[in-house]
Structure 1
Amino acid sequence: MTTDPVSVLEGMYAAEAAYTGDFTPLAPFFAPDVVLHQAEGLPYGGVWRGHAGIEAFFAAMSRTWDVFELVKQQFLATASPLVVLTDMHVRSRATGRELDFPILQTITVTAGRITEVRPFYWDTAAITAVCST
């Protein structure tokens, strides 16, 4: 596997797009001690640690979203930590409602693996509202 940070993220995003509930294809992209910080107000908010935490996070996302599409991405910084601006399109499993929103992430890649992810949302209340019945 490559250690180039952009290639690591592109590989992880491709594995994420193909995610069907099996974490195995995603695991090689994450360091064993990876930390993911999600905004507390989200249905999947909190700090997720290690492979077990990331696997649980992907399961929580899958329970939350019926559709989770990365519509457009811009790599604003390509050295670690990378900065990625992504336009999202989602549909809630619970309500069937859809939402388009931007997300900005800083992602640290060390020795070819993701070690930290910090997503920043423009409007967590809108995301939560789409999921609320």
Structure 2
Amino acid sequence: METARYQKIISMVETIYALTASGDWHAVGEMLTEDFRIVEAEGLPYGGEYLGKTALQDLYTKVFAFWEDASLDRHDMAISEHNAIVMLTMHATSRHTGERLAMPMCEVLHVRGDKFSGITPYYYDTAAIARATGTLSLA
């Protein structure tokens, strides 16, 4: 991979995390393809598929219904021509139990050209999230 492409993807990742943290949803939408897609694990209270330029905003709206003061600490990042893999720790306080959670996870940000075409998140323990939010079903 060319150095310029590598640096471009790193910059894109840093920018989209900053924009989502600030809630600048219009600018976030400009970084996404029309067919942008996020699929959250079905075991999560906000599990399912989120599509289009408002997908991240739609997901964040659902996430913050369950969590207070959610934040992400970014650790390492691996870059390829079409993906950026970001190692994270999600921190949040459950609105259901008041429990403070620190969840290791990673997100694969899929890159097409100069935009993101999707995100695939992987959580260390989706059951811990479901328990903390009161949505764990044992049936």
Q: Aligning the two structures, in what range does the TM-score lie when normalised by the shorter sequence?
A: 0.7 to 0.9
Is the aligned partner of 1:76 residue 2:65? Answer: no
Q: Give a deviation string over 1:43-65, Cα, whole Å, max 9, x none.
A: 11011111243332121112222
Q: Which moved more, 1:23-32 or 1:106-115?
A: 23-32
Question: 5+ unaligned residues in a row in structure 2: which ranges?
Answer: none
- Name the residue aligned to 1:49: 51
Q: Which amino acid aligns with 2:90?
A: M
Question: 5+ unaligned residues in a row in structure 1: which ranges?
Answer: none
Q: Is the 8 A contact 1:90 1:98 kept in 2?
A: yes
Tell me which of 67, 70, 88 is aligned to 2:69: 67
Q: Which has the larger radius of gyration?
A: 2
Deviation beyond 6 Å, 4+ runs, structure 1: none
Tell me which of 2, 7, 11 is aligned to 2:11: 7
Q: Which has the higher contact order (CA 8 A, sep 6+)?
A: 1
SS at match of 2:20: helix
If the length of structure 2 is used for normalisation, what is the TM-score? 0.82
Q: Which amino acid aligns with 2:92?
A: V
Q: Is the 8 A contact 2:89 2:102 kept in 1?
A: yes
What's the RMSD between the two structures over aligned residues?
A: 1.9
